[in-house]
Structure 1
Amino acid sequence: MPDMKRAYLALRPVRGVSPRWLLFLIIAVSLALGLAARYLFRPSEREAASATPASHTSPDAAPSIIVLSAEAMARGDIRIIAVARRSLPQELRVTGRVQVNEDRAVRVGSPVEGRVTRVLATVGDRVRAGQPLVALHSHELVAARSDYEKAKAAVARAEKARAYAAAELERANRLLEAKAISRREHLRAAADLAAAEAELEQARAELRRAEEFLHHLGAWPEMSDEVIIRAPIAGVVLERRVTVGTVVTPSTDLMTIADLSTLWVIAQVPEPQAARIRPGQLVSITVAAFADQHFTGRVTYIGESLDPQTRTVQVRCLVQNRHERLRPEMYATITITLGETSPRVVIPREAVQEIGGEFVVFVERAPGRFEKRSVQLGLSALTPEGEWVEVTAGLREGERIVARGSFLLKSELLKGAIQE
């Protein structure tokens, strides 16, 4: 009985509260308790959910510490240096173009009017001084050979006249000693010999001129029927403008020959920097075809006026090209030293590696133990010891870094990231 009474009292509605609202309240409380129990009594799911982000590692992530044995460092030729401050050459880099040294180039022409009968060299040929280039047929050669024959005959006549005059003077000498002739007749014989000798000398001079003209035409001493145009210098044929049958005159350019052992590099330098360049200054020149090789040039000319469109000054450099690796019309980069910077933290360029889009160096924390360190770079410059680069952030003076062999540490770092 008491239990039934308590049940009756429990089910009896509270005064002032509708049974329907009471039912809704009981259902809402039950749902809330169920959700709370579901959350409280499933901790493994909650822990797993919260632990998942903490244990996830990006595929690109890599450890920052590398440990190398002494043997590995020796095999990798690892060299460690202390970071120091030093001045860098203050450099200006401009683009330019390789050109023929006009002081060592020749446009080959014809000395006479004529028609080309043979072309004996073409573009790209290497020729020596005096080598035949072009053969012509010319009426002037016919006239020159006629003049030569006439001059030769005149010399023969003059030689005979001189011999006769000499014999007459010798005879006059004997007669004068015998007092068979007067002194006036003796003087006349001496004058005749002098005149004959003068005529002989003039005839010989005319013959020499005729020979020289034939030589100029390339027809001496072989006495060729063609005018032979020869190379005035040794070099390479850069341009050919004639073919067989071309009619040429003394104003016609037949070929262009250049000695490529020296070349010009022409650059356009901005107005503010041009005033800091001096004739005779050494420059470094690179071209795309030989990107790892630096050619040394010397400033030989600085323009007297500005280009009104670009506001630049032409600077001409002379570069030695003994192995003829440089070619006319190549584009070039010219590096000109303008002075030195103030002392700053700099390291060798080979100490810097790129990982994940950022520049890094490897700092020695202990013997054989290295830390990857991100750095920010500034100016770079070539020095006699190689290329050096400024570090604007990430390193302090006195820290020890891997200067040579840093690629080995980069490889070990990436290998460790892949294994993980």
Structure 2
Amino acid sequence: MKIHRSIGIASAAFALALLLAACGGGTSAESTGHGDEAGHAEGEHAETGHAEIEAAKEGAHGGRLLEQDGYAVELAIAEDGTPPRYQAWLYRDGEPLPPTAGSVEVQLTRLGNAIEKHALKPQADGSLMAGSVVGEPHSFDVVVIATIDGKPRHWSYGSYEGRTVIPAKIAVESGIRVATAGAGTIADEHEVQGLLTPVEGRVAQVMARFPGPIRSLRANVGDRVRAGQPLATIESNLSLSDYTVAAPIAGVVLARNASVGAVAGEGSALFEIADLSQLWVDLHIFGADAQHIRPGVPVLVTRMSDGATAKTTLERVLPGTATASQSTVARATIVNDDGLWRPGSAVKARITVAQQPGKVVVPLAALQGFRDSDVVFVRVGDIYEARPVELGQRDATQVEILSGIEPGDQVVVEQSYLIKADVEKSGASHDH
């Protein structure tokens, strides 16, 4: 499988390798005992008939050959056009035996100590075949219990794939983070763009009551003013006395339309003030999308200048159509506590039309492509293992997992590509 990595990903994977080397440990199959099953046999048990497997041998059908005292079981996972199942053949002194000459059971212990048992039954083709399917990943400790000619035989070995070991300290230093898989909500979202505008009723024009020359101006564009604060002094042409013009509301000066010495006309606007503590977000919705969007749904607004976000609720869908863009305008209100949301600025937003619950939901960052499958990496202790998963619905940040992991599993949600790189470096095989 061809693997494409950015320079940043390659650098991070290299940094992980350096950290592992500095700690005197490796994560290859040889150093961790979690590589291909061919070199990872258990030591010989004390009970009679339990043989040590020093090296994997291949039988006549391409399976693993397990031998002891002249008897042998050849074990393989058959999956040519069928779901994977264990298949076995029996031998005595190198010669095939009929499948009725014995019995075979395969016991698997997966990461996390989940145990499976696969009983094999005689078949017409001369083999024994399990009726149960061997689910992915094919990564487990294997115990084979056989009886041949009435004599018990017992083998055990490790058969691992997609697995690696990373000490906790190194994982922390590498930024690897896990989270508990559990229920969540997948959102049906629409991406739209919009424009920030002042809230109607929160903009005021500061007017001259009587015509006359302007004697002083006490505010500039951008100044924050309070309600009742004096902003200008004008000499009335009628009374020839000065009067003060004050701010009618608290807010920010958006415009100053006068200068000292100029003559203010009656009713002329000297300043424009707006209360910008809240702003309208007018979102432009095109085509059939407008039929699915209703007031009351959640909206996440993103500020383009720095990526800051604000959560709000859609308040209304305006009855008309924007003339220039021929779009429907949906309106929400955001709080502008930091003052950095500015009227006239373009923003983008995600409108959540519907929400669907999921039994198991993980962040999109947890997903990796591995051997033509979508996988997430599950951690048990210091061991990380790829788990092929079936995907359901997704939104902009997370995805539903239909099968492959269970609620409560510890899933890598940050730097999962480092785990993938380390597993690929180990070269662990898919031993069928």
What interval of TM-score do these two structures reach, taking the shorter chain for normalisation? 0.5 to 0.7
Give the counterpart letter for 2:411 in structure 1: A
**Structure 2 equivalent of residue 112 of structure 1:** 210
Structure 2 Cα separation of the partners of residues 129 and 58 of structure 1: 61
Q: 1:353 to 1:253 in 2, by over 3 A?
A: farther
Superposed, which structure 2 residues align to 1:360-379 within 5 Å? Answer: 362-364=376-378, 368-371=382-385
Structure having the larger proportion of residues in strand = 2
d(CA) in 1 for partners of 2:172 and 2:255? 57
1:403 corresponds to: 411
The question of 1:128 aligning with 2:226 is answered yes
Find the partner of 1:93 among 191, 213, 219: 191
Q: Relative contact order, CA 8 A, sep 6+: which one is greater?
A: 1
Cα distance change of structure 1 residues 248 and 373 upon mapping to structure 2, 3 Å threshold: farther
Deviation string for 1:302-352 (max 9, x for gaps)? 221234664421112111223323121222112211113585974213424
In the TM superposition, what whole-angstrom CA distance separates every residue of 1:90-118 from its partner, at most 9, and x where no partner exists?
11121111111122110111111112121
Matches within 5 A, 1:18-417: 65-70=163-168, 72=170, 78-79=177-178, 81-82=180-181, 88-142=186-240, 225-291=241-307, 293-307=308-322, 310-341=325-356, 346-352=361-367, 362-364=376-378, 368-371=382-385, 380-381=394-395, 387-389=397-399, 396=404, 398=406, 403-404=411-412, 406-407=414-415, 410-411=417-418
- The 1:80–1:339 alpha-carbon spacing in structure 2 relative to 1, beyond 3 Å, is closer
Find the residue that maps to 1:88 and give its secondary structure.
strand
In the TM superposition, residue 253 of structure 1 has moved relative to its aligned partner by 1.4
Which 10-residue stretch deviates more, 109-118 or 282-291?
282-291
Amino acid at match of 1:370: Y
User: Where in structure 2 are there 5+ consecutive unaligned residues?
Assistant: 14-27, 29-161, 428-432
**Aligned length in residues:** 271
When Rg is computed on C-alpha atoms for both structures, the one with the higher figure is 1
Question: Deviation string for 1:340-399 (max 9, x for gaps)?
Answer: 3585974213424699xx9975423875333568999896437xxxx313579xx74549
**TM-score, scaled to structure 1:** 0.53
Measured on the aligned residues, the alpha-carbon RMSD in Å equals: 4.2
Secondary structure, aligned partner of 1:273: helix
Native 8 Å contact 2:183 2:407 kept in 1: no
CA displacement at 1:266 relative to structure 2 = 0.8
How many Å separate the matches in 2 of 1:414 and 1:240? 61
Whether the aligned pair in 1 keeps the contact of 2:387 and 2:404 (CA below 8 Å) is no
Q: Secondary structure at the match of 1:121?
A: coil
Indicate how the Cα distance of structure 1 residues 310 and 122 shifts in structure 2: closer, same or farther if over 3 A, else same.
closer
In structure 1, C-alpha distance between the alignment counterparts of 2:359 and 2:393, rounded to whole Å: 10
8 A Cα contact 1:98 1:329, kept in partner: yes
3-state SS of paired residue (1:103):
coil
**Alpha-carbon spacing, 1:270–1:141, altered in 2? closer, same or farther (3 Å):** same
Amino acid at match of 1:403: V
Change (3 A) 1:140 1:380: farther
2:284, 2:302 → 1: CA distance? 16
